Homo-oligomer: A and B are copies of this chain.
Amino acid sequence: MTKFNVLILGNASASPTLTRNQTSQLINIGEQYYLMDCGEGTQIRLREHKVKIQRINHIFISHLHGDHYLGLIGLIQTMHLLGRTSELTIYCPGDIKQIVDVHLKISESHLKYPIVYKTVNSENSELVYENDKIEVISIPLKHRIACSGYLFKEKQKPRRINPKALKTFEVPKYQINKIKLGEDYIAENGEIIKNMRLTLDSLPSFSYAFCSDTKYLESIIPIIKGVDLLYHESTFADEHADRARKTYHSTAKQAAEIALKSEAKKLIIGHFSNRYADLNVLLTEAKTVFENTEIATQGNTFEVSFSQ
């Protein structure tokens, strides 16, 4: 089973508190690290969880409000101080390059590693990154400035070798790699053994969607349809629905509506206004709409491949 999980490094909105850092998450897919947002203090939280920061090669920023990116400059500089040479790619719908550049220029810092900037289209969903195992798709959100969520999807996995079938058809060892790649096997007597008969169904592919910050937005639904784990911002409780609407944020119930309508398997809620000392208010409201909801508690790791 490929590892696929999400470590919550912060779940506060606007201002940090003593127990809630601002938004940041570390997504681990098969020991490849992807950093999702980078609020102030993220590098300290990474250190707390003993994450080797040089293994982060891709940083996704949802939007350029301070609570989602103010830890980025410090992280970039620490990567440099610790001797990084490998490329770092930053995905963002806004001009993060201009911000990083002014810091580097004025502090007279010359990074030893290259940064690649990818401007994310926040109007139309698009493929922003892929490798042979996963793809990352932008989720246009509706906030006060250009803002994008991200859908991390494992690609279709290869079918698995069926050792019993290999034995039955006396497949020689040197043929196994070809079969793994999907080829049929031609037996010595000329008989063609279809690949399907030699292999088992592939393991399921999982997906994780990060949606913050946004007002209630149904155009998200077709993009994330059937997602295994959905993180959706829940800045406010129902009693502050009006405040949510005005500030382009969501209530816990609205997050749950999106989870329900997109047929997500599970919902985690975060980006809490620090007016709520007790987050159970938000959890309870979400659960009235979508039962399988949890709070994105800072320091918790959520398994995306949970159904296995």
Contacts and interface: CB of A to CB of B under 8 A. Distances in A.
A107 interface: yes
- Could you say how many copies of this chain the assembly holds? 2
B40 A18 contact: no
Size category of the binding interface on chain A: 35 or more
- A interface, over-half SS: loop
Interface string A66-79: 10001101100110
A307 B16 CA distance: 38
A140 interface: no
A167 interface: no
Contact of A144 (B41, B64, B94, B108): B108
B70 A66 contact: no
A277 interface: no
A126 to B, nearest CB: 22
Contact of A145 (B41, B96, B98, B108): B108
A242 to B, nearest CB: 18
B47 A17 contact: yes
Nearest to A101: B102
B74 A40 contact: yes
Nearest to A72: B70
A81 interface: yes
A78 B48 contact: no
A194 to B, nearest CB: 57
